[in-house]
């Protein structure tokens, strides 16, 4: 390397070193000015050392509740992060009243909340998709004009921003299954996605467990008490049966059953043919039978002992009017001991239902035992 090249190299190094030193000096002077103007020195987050061991940030955990460390003022967080329109509507939805007829003990409830009202076509599609779960369900929409929940029928043409859907967990067909609940939830979630809404489903596993336990209990208390009026000789004519039954207060329904109603138009007990043929209104005058059956659906009546006493009294009147005998299912004539045993059975069933929070004859009982 020549002397000229060495000289140029040294000069270059001096120039680069001078420029670097000058830039460092300028940055130092600027930092001093900033510190003088704004106070204490701030940490450079890009140069901050990673915390060790337990000091590392943990991933957020999802649970029933999250503990909030008292290191930050919640009001300051709310001020720094304004709620989105959907979050505001979710907060509003939480303040709405309960839906009449929706029972959290026996219903699986899903909420759909949107910023803007969903279209009538969207509501119809929601009904169609929810129906594929194979269980009876209800849809309610909140009317801000009326300030109340109302039935949101499939073809009502109404539009709602807040919907509640409910499917019953248990009835006499049995408990709801996993497939029905997941299908029901999926229908609500699809509707929510379509309208940029939020769908909130109840815990499916917890609902299934509650359904199984409730179904087992209902099976234990689902008892009907039946007594029969049988012909001693010959057969009873349909016309005579109808005349006596309606005179006693029964009403013949199109299904072929006579219903005895209370003052609230609820069935206390029924009268049926002891033989397979029903008492169809258009055929009863041509029908004859060897007996009729009075049936008390124990879980569906509020005062079981009073209803039983009234049914037995009507049975005695029918037996006298038809010229028959009042007997049990084994065709043994009813005596005082048999009646007392039946009364104790009804009383025990009603006590168990009351203890379980299912009042006999209540709306909850009528839904479960249907």
Q: Are residues 287 and 343 part of one domain?
A: yes
pLDDT in tens, the chain (370 residues): 677 766 777 787 777 677 677 666 655 554 555 444 444 444 433 334 444 444 433 333 323 333 333 334 444 444 445 566 666 666 777 789 999 999 999 999 999 999 899 999 999 999 999 999 999 999 999 999 999 999 999 988 899 999 999 999 999 999 999 999 999 999 999 999 999 999 999 999 999 999 999 999 999 999 999 999 999 889 999 999 999 999 999 999 999 999 999 988 999 999 999 999 999 999 999 999 999 999 999 999 999 999 999 999 999 999 999 999 999 989 999 999 999 999 999 999 999 999 999 999 999 999 999 9
In 10 A of CB 251, how many CB atoms? Answer: 13
pLDDT value for 49: 43
Q: Is residue 154 part of a domain?
A: yes
Name the nearest CA neighbour of 101 among 148, 154, 162, 159.
148
pLDDT value for 85: 64
Burial of 314 (C-beta count, 10 Å sphere; 0-12/13-18/19+): buried
Q: Is residue 70 part of a domain?
A: no
Which CATH number does the domain housing residue 318 bear? Answer: 3.30.1400.10
Q: Are residues 322 and 247 part of one domain?
A: yes
* C-alpha count within 13 angstroms, C-beta hemisphere, residue 359: 5
Q: Are residues 207 and 237 part of one domain?
A: no
* Strand partners for 270: 259, 295
The span from the CA of 96 to the CA of 98, in Å, is 7
Q: Are residues 239 and 189 part of one domain?
A: no
Instruction: Output Rg (C-alpha) for the chain, integer angstroms.
Output: 38
Name the nearest CA neighbour of 99 among 116, 87, 114, 111.
111
The span from the CA of 127 to the CA of 156, in Å, is 11
Q: Are residues 208 and 238 part of one domain?
A: no
User: Which of residues 186, 217, 248 is at a domain's end?
Assistant: 217
Q: Are residues 191 and 253 part of one domain?
A: no
CA 152 to chain centre: 16
User: Which of residues 151, 184, 217 is at a domain's end?
Assistant: 217
Q: Is residue 11 part of a domain?
A: no
Distances in whole angstroms, Cα of residue 114 to Cα of each of 183, 197, 247, 293: 21, 4, 56, 54
* Strand partners for 101: none
pLDDT value for 84: 65
Q: Are residues 176 and 112 part of one domain?
A: yes
pLDDT value for 312: 97
pLDDT value for 82: 58
The span from the CA of 359 to the CA of 115, in Å, is 40
pLDDT value for 70: 36
pTM for the whole thing?
Answer: 0.73
User: Which of residues 175, 201, 217 is at a domain's end?
Assistant: 217
pLDDT value for 67: 30
- What is the total count of domains within the chain? 2
The span from the CA of 222 to the CA of 365, in Å, is 10
The span from the CA of 365 to the CA of 269, in Å, is 16
Backbone φ and ψ of 154, nearest 5°: -60, -45
The span from the CA of 179 to the CA of 161, in Å, is 27
Burial of 31 (C-beta count, 10 Å sphere; 0-12/13-18/19+): exposed
* Strand partners for 143: 148
140 sits in which H/E element: strand 137-143
Burial of 345 (C-beta count, 10 Å sphere; 0-12/13-18/19+): middle
Backbone φ and ψ of 234, nearest 5°: 70, -150
Which CATH number does the domain housing residue 99 bear? Answer: 3.30.1400
pLDDT value for 92: 74
Domain coverage including residue 263: 222-368
Q: What is the DSSP string of 243-297?
A: HHHHHHTEEE-TTS-EEEE-TTS-EEEEEEESSSS---TTTGGG-EESEEEEEEE
pLDDT value for 77: 41
* Look-up of token digits 């609940």: 181
Tens digit of pLDDT for each residue in 274-290?
Answer: 999 999 999 999 999 99
The span from the CA of 170 to the CA of 97, in Å, is 25
The span from the CA of 205 to the CA of 306, in Å, is 41
Q: Kindly compute the dihedral angle of the four CA atoms of residues 144, 147, 150, 156, in this order, to the nearest 10 degrees.
A: -30
Q: Is residue 66 part of a domain?
A: no
Q: Are residues 361 and 272 part of one domain?
A: yes
Q: Are residues 239 and 348 part of one domain?
A: yes
Q: Is residue 161 part of a domain?
A: yes
Q: Is residue 146 part of a domain?
A: yes
Q: Is residue 45 part of a domain?
A: no
Cβ distance 279 to 273 under 8 Å? Answer: yes
Q: Are residues 285 and 332 part of one domain?
A: yes
The span from the CA of 319 to the CA of 273, in Å, is 14
Tens digit of pLDDT for each residue in 200-246?
Answer: 999 999 999 999 999 999 999 999 999 999 998 899 999 999 999 99
Q: Are residues 256 and 210 part of one domain?
A: no
Q: Are residues 281 and 267 part of one domain?
A: yes
Q: Is residue 201 part of a domain?
A: yes
The span from the CA of 155 to the CA of 45, in Å, is 58
């Amino acid at each position: 390397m020549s002397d000229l090249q060495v000289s140029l190299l040294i000069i270059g190094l001096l120039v680069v070193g001078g420029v670097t030193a000058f830039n460092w000096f300028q940055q130092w002077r600027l930092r001093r000015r900033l510190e003088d103007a704004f106070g204490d020195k701030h940490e450079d987050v890009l140069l901050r050392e990673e915390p060790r061991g337990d000091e590392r940030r943990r991933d957020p955990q999802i649970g029933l509740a999250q503990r909030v460390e008292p290191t930050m003022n919640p009001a300051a967080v709310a001020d720094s992060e304004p709620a989105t329109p959907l979050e505001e509507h979710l907060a509003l939805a939480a303040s709405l009243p309960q839906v009449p007829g929706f029972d959290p003990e026996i219903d699986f409830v899903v909420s759909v909340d949107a910023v803007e009202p969903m279209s009538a076509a969207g509501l119809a599609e929601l009904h169609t998709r929810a129906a594929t779960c194979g269980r009876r369900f209800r849809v309610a929409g909140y009317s801000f004009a009326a300030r109340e929940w109302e039935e949101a029928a499939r073809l009502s043409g109404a539009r709602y921003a807040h919907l509640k859907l409910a499917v019953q967990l248990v009835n006499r067909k049995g408990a709801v299954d996993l497939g029905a609940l997941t299908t029901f939830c999926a229908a609500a979630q699809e509707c929510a996605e379509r309208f940029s809404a939020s769908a909130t489903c109840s815990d499916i596993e917890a609902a299934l467990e509650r359904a199984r336990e409730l179904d087992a209990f209902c099976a234990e208390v689902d008892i009907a008490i039946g007594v029969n009026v049988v012909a001693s000789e010959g057969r009873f004519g349909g016309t005579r049966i109808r005349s006596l039954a309606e005179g006693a207060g029964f009403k013949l329904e199109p299904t072929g059953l006579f219903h005895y109603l209370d003052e609230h138009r609820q069935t206390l007990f029924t009268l049926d043919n002891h033989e397979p043929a029903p008492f169809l209104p258009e055929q009863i005058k041509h029908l004859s039978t060897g007996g009729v059956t009075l049936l008390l659906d124990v879980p569906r009546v509020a005062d079981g002992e009073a209803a039983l006493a009234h049914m037995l009294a009507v049975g005695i009147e029918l037996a006298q009017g038809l010229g028959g005998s009042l007997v049990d299912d084994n065709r043994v004539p009813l005596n005082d001991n048999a009646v007392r045993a039946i009364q104790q059975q009804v009383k025990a069933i009603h006590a168990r239902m009351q203890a379980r929070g299912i009042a006999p004859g209540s709306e909850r009982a009528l839904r479960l035992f249907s």
